[in-house]
Amino acid sequence: MNRSTHLVEQEEVMAYLDGELDPQRAAAVAAHIDACPSCRALAAELRGISQQMVAWQVEPTPARLSEHVNAAIEEPTGKEKKPARQQTPAVSRWHRWLMSRWVWGLASASVALLIIAKMTAPALFVVHKMQAPSAEVSHGTVDINNPILKGGGGGGGGDRKELTAGPMIARTASLTIVAKDFEVARAAVERIVRQHKGYVADLATNAPKDAARTLTATLRIPAPQLEAAIADLKALGRVEKETQSGEDVTKQYADLVARLNNSRAAEKRLVDILQQRTGKVSEVLEVEQEIARVREEIEQMEAERKNTEKRVEFASVQLKLSEEYKARLEMTPPSTGTRLRNAVVSGYQRVSESIFETTLFVLDYGPSFLFWALVLYWPGRFAWRRWRAARATGLGSSVGAP
């Protein structure tokens, strides 16, 4: 279409079809479309696109939506039922999830996986022990009370969770200690952390000039070693504050591992389907999309699992260490050079200050002095002359007297 000879823009043809032109312009464009083959073709294309787009329809609104909103309308304004909003989606999500066609395949794969896991349990347990060296080294033997070992943590696959049962506790503690010798206590902290196979997550020291030095640190200590490490730390000085707490993450971890297993099984099955079966492009695309979604879920859950295991495996200790403050008496006199230099600086400052003060005085009193000098000049001069004349006359008469 040659735009320079065209009276109607292509966008106007579209706007006409969308009913966006005023009646007068619409009539002009309609007439033009009738007459112009290229604009007629464009109009046909645009209609075709809209018709094709109609193919993408969504399913009717779920009945629950109407029920909840209608219930909220019936409530007095501003008192909508929030619980409905929170409960329904979860129920709905699970319901839909359970009805999904993939879930059946996923469930059967999970069962198979479970059987394999049971059969290979001893081997997995050995691998597990190797992956949790810190817990073993400190005790010399496998500590069956170690929540990491019981919970299946330690960086291995989540499918071992079913093998053992027991609480998984993420422990935290905080200590505030005042030590007599700061340097010794600081070195001792590092030694204690090394001794208990832990590490320092972060550390900051503060040494102000006229106050006590402090050290704040986050120590990560293997959970089984926590009690011993705290006892060692408490020996560093006077304990001002101590707190300990534990969060039971057993259920959270078990749920996570179960979901992870299900998702892995689903992923495997989907990949098998993609490799072994042929079908319509729509089905292939759907499977690919489902695989991408499942993989994203697996990555998220894997990260969450590792984080939980880390929290259980290593207890967190917030340590605040400060020294007993001793004020220091400075007795050293300054050197001769320093004193001479100070005298020169002081002399220079005094000179400049005196110049400045004089200038200030002149500026302050100068104008009023000048004013009175001008005012009193003539009367003073007159009086002076009179006095001199009187004196001269007096002298003359006294000289001329007999």
Residues of this chain that bind other proteins (CB under 8 A): 10-11, 14-15, 18, 20, 45-46, 49-50, 52-53, 55-62, 64-66, 68-70, 72-74, 77-78, 80, 85, 88-89, 92-93, 96, 280-282, 285-286, 289, 292-293, 296
> Closer to other proteins at the Cβ: 46 or 271?
46
Q: How far apart are CA 52 and CA 39, in angstroms?
A: 20
CA distances 217 to 16, 30, 189, 201, 205, Å, are 70, 78, 10, 7, 8
Q: How far apart are CA 325 and CA 161, in angstroms?
A: 51
Q: Cβ(48)–Cβ(65) under 8 Å? A: no
Q: How far apart are CA 275 and CA 78, in angstroms?
A: 54
To the nearest whole angstrom, how small is the minimum distance from the Cβ of residue 101 to other proteins? 12
> Closer to other proteins at the Cβ: 87 or 346?
87
CB neighbour list of residue 10: distance below 8 Å, 6 or more residues apart: 1, 39, 42
To the nearest whole angstrom, how small is the minimum distance from the Cβ of residue 263 to other proteins? 15
- Sheet of strand 214-222: strand arrangement: 199-206, 214-222, 314-323, 169-179, 238-248
Q: At what angle do helices 23-35 and 37-53 cross, to 10 degrees?
A: 110
Q: Cβ(180)–Cβ(237) under 8 Å? A: yes
To the nearest whole angstrom, how small is the minimum distance from the Cβ of residue 210 to other proteins? 47
> Closer to other proteins at the Cβ: 56 or 378?
56
To the nearest whole angstrom, how small is the minimum distance from the Cβ of residue 105 to other proteins? 18
> Closer to other proteins at the Cβ: 18 or 181?
18
To the nearest whole angstrom, how small is the minimum distance from the Cβ of residue 73 to other proteins? 5
> Closer to other proteins at the Cβ: 17 or 124?
17
> Closer to other proteins at the Cβ: 16 or 182?
16
To the nearest whole angstrom, how small is the minimum distance from the Cβ of residue 231 to other proteins? 43
To the nearest whole angstrom, how small is the minimum distance from the Cβ of residue 77 to other proteins? 6
Q: Cβ(299)–Cβ(271) under 8 Å? A: no
The helix or strand, by DSSP H or E, that contains position 122, with its residue range, turns out to be helix 121-130
> Closer to other proteins at the Cβ: 60 or 333?
60
